Amino acid sequence: MKYIPVVLMGCGGVGRQLLQHIVTCRSLHANQGIRLRVVGVCDSKSLVVAPDVFSMELSDNLLLEVCRVKLDSSSSLLTLNGSGECQVYSNPELTKKIIDIAALLGKSTGLALVDCSASSETIGVLNRVVDIGCCAVLANKKPLTCKMEDYDKLVSHPRFIRHESTVGAGLPVIATLNRLLSSGDPVHRIIGSLSGTLGYVMSEVEDGKPFSQVVKSAKSLGYTEPDPRDDLSGMDVARKALILARLLGQRLNLDSIKIESLYPEEMGPGVMSVEEFLGSGVSLLDKDFQERVHKASSKGNVLRYVCVIEGSRCEVGIQELPKDSALGRLKGSDNVLEVYSRCYPEQPLVIQGAGAGNDTTATGVLADILDLQDLFP
């Protein structure tokens, strides 16, 4: 049996779903000769660790209890301190303890540090852990969109890094691009719809629904963040575009990307509350969207919120696209990526499928962890 020790950072929707997947896949992994040995789980304030990370792991019952406790985001893992099955550490010990675990296990069994947080503060611990010789798996986009100096350190040991779920959740976007690039097939253009939320919004507006109504529906369906402007700003798509652009060799930072927001600055979070934006602000945008949809339709086109990476160009925003193209046919919250290369010059390689959701993303993270198995004894 091959054992892969795991420490998870982040107990939000994706992190909890990952723990549940690990527990429910025990028999499947056993048949494959693998066991994921979860030795630690942390949120932003506390870390739960097995009493002896060499010989013990957090029990499945405890992992499910972590999921139950963190279902309420305000609850703390400190409540597990009296269980007797684990040790609990809180800030400022948290980061040091993770690095200590990596140093201990890195010399013998190895470790997979999994970042399912949404924090920009994890880059330091990720770099330390990779330097020690352990592996890192990311669903968190922010470490890969930090300044180039930190990014270069993180990806300097590519065999020890997996981050498929940072761009397309469970879709094979990063793996496909890596295969093309390593085979000497240069990628010269990427265009894609990489936000399930904005994909849904644009396809619903295309059907004649007011922009304001669609945004409110997307929020009620759970497609958006609590403040829909987090999605409508385009920043999430910009981070994904930056990850892809850097993968293609571009030396870009986030502020180098042209980003089209779907709302004006005067409707931003610093000016309007969420309630004001949804109550009176967003409806003021209906007429402009209606006119843009009509203009595109008159030319046989549709509007899509896309990222475009071509040469030194990297931008995200609304574009008019042919209705019969892969992106034009997009409906709902699916992601679509068109990749143009030497081998795919006219008819692009198209990657399409569910690109959002906790379940899909967690499945992608789990696949990334298992993909590292040859690096473990």
Question: Which pLDDT does position 232 carry in this prediction?
Answer: 97
Number of domains the chain is built from: 2
Note whether 156 and 198 are same-domain residues: no
Residue 83 has pLDDT above 70, yes or no: no
Encoding tokens for residue 222? Answer: 């759970």
Encoding tokens for residue 174? Answer: 């990063």
pTM: predicted TM-score of the whole model, two decimal places? 0.94
Q: With contact defined as beta carbons under 8 Å apart, do 47 and 94 qualify?
A: yes
Nearest CA among 63, 64, 9, 21 for reference residue 357 = 21
Residue 78 has pLDDT above 90, yes or no: no
- Percent of the chain at pLDDT exceeding 70: 99
Binding residues, by number, are 10-15, 141, 225
Concerning whether 240 is annotated as a catalytic residue, the answer is yes
Residue 56 has pLDDT above 90, yes or no: yes
Binding residues for L-homoserine, by number, are 225
In a domain, 99, yes or no: yes
Note whether 232 and 306 are same-domain residues: yes
Note whether 97 and 143 are same-domain residues: yes
In a domain, 176, yes or no: no
- Annotated active-site residue in 96, 240, 287, 295: 240
Which CATH number goes with the domain that contains 7? 3.40.50.720
Binding residues for NADP(+), by number, are 10-15
The string of pLDDT tens digits covering residues 141-155 is 999 999 999 999 999
Note whether 282 and 310 are same-domain residues: yes
How far is residue 114's CA from residue 362's CA, in Å, rounded to a whole number?
Answer: 11
In a domain, 235, yes or no: yes
Q: With contact defined as beta carbons under 8 Å apart, do 313 and 332 qualify?
A: no
Task: Calculate the dihedral angle through the C-alpha atoms of 251, 255, 257, 259, rounding to the nearest 10 degrees.
Answer: 160
Residue 73 has pLDDT above 90, yes or no: no
Q: Are strands 135-138 and 161-162 parallel, antiparallel or unpaired?
A: parallel
Q: How close are the terminal C-alpha atoms of the chain, in Å?
A: 10
Question: Which pLDDT does position 96 carry in this prediction?
Answer: 94
Question: Which pLDDT does position 356 carry in this prediction?
Answer: 76
Note whether 190 and 230 are same-domain residues: yes
Encoding tokens for residue 304? Answer: 């899509």
Q: With contact defined as beta carbons under 8 Å apart, do 278 and 213 qualify?
A: no
Q: Are strands 301-310 and 34-42 parallel, antiparallel or unpaired?
A: unpaired
> How far, rounded to the nearest angstrom, does the alpha carbon of residue 245 sit from its chain's CA centroid?
16
217: three-class secondary structure by DSSP: helix
Q: With contact defined as beta carbons under 8 Å apart, do 66 and 34 qualify?
A: no
Nearest CA among 207, 204, 206, 270 for reference residue 233 = 270
How far is residue 302's CA from residue 323's CA, in Å, rounded to a whole number?
Answer: 6
Note whether 129 and 266 are same-domain residues: no
Residue 92: pLDDT band (50, 70, 90) is: confident
Question: Which pLDDT does position 139 carry in this prediction?
Answer: 96
Question: Which pLDDT does position 19 carry in this prediction?
Answer: 98
Q: Give the Cα-Cα-Cα angle 105, 110, 115 (nearest 5 degrees).
A: 95
Which CATH number goes with the domain that contains 264? 3.30.360.10
Note whether 265 and 366 are same-domain residues: no
In a domain, 152, yes or no: yes
Binding residues for NADPH, by number, are 141
The string of pLDDT tens digits covering residues 224-250 is 888 999 999 999 999 999 999 999 999
Note whether 217 and 335 are same-domain residues: yes
What's the rounded mean pLDDT across residues 352-362? 87
The string of pLDDT tens digits covering residues 359-368 is 999 999 999 9
The string of pLDDT tens digits covering residues 246-264 is 999 999 999 999 999 999 9
The string of pLDDT tens digits covering residues 4-30 is 999 999 999 999 999 999 999 999 999
Encoding tokens for residue 6? Answer: 């795991």
Q: Give the Cα-Cα-Cα angle 318, 324, 326 (nearest 5 degrees).
A: 65
Question: Which pLDDT does position 75 carry in this prediction?
Answer: 84
Note whether 69 and 102 are same-domain residues: yes
What's the rounded mean pLDDT across residues 78-90? 81
Encoding tokens for residue 106? Answer: 């890195």
Range of the domain at 295: 183-355
The string of pLDDT tens digits covering residues 287-331 is 999 999 999 999 999 999 999 999 999 999 999 999 999 899 988
Question: Which pLDDT does position 14 carry in this prediction?
Answer: 93
- Tell me how crowded residue 312 is: count the other CB atoms within 10 A of its CB: 10
What's the rounded mean pLDDT across residues 49-56? 93
In a domain, 178, yes or no: no
Q: Are strands 349-354 and 334-341 parallel, antiparallel or unpaired?
A: antiparallel
Note whether 23 and 53 are same-domain residues: yes
Q: With contact defined as beta carbons under 8 Å apart, do 215 and 263 qualify?
A: no
Note whether 342 and 367 are same-domain residues: no
What's the rounded mean pLDDT across residues 99-113? 95
The most distant pair of C-alpha atoms in the chain lies apart, rounded to whole Å, by 68
Rg of the chain (C-alpha set): 22
Q: With contact defined as beta carbons under 8 Å apart, do 64 and 23 qualify?
A: yes
In a domain, 177, yes or no: no
Question: Which pLDDT does position 82 carry in this prediction?
Answer: 64
Residue 178 has pLDDT above 90, yes or no: yes
157: three-class secondary structure by DSSP: coil
Question: Which pLDDT does position 48 carry in this prediction?
Answer: 96
Note whether 248 and 105 are same-domain residues: no
Bridge partners, 335 (sequence order): 353
Residue 139: CB partners within 8 Å, gap ≥ 6? 10, 14, 114, 115, 116, 163, 165, 166, 361, 362, 364, 365
In the block, residue with structure tokens 């089209």? 260
Residue 124: CB partners within 8 Å, gap ≥ 6? 95
In the block, residue with structure tokens 């870390």? 47
In a domain, 175, yes or no: no
In a domain, 249, yes or no: yes
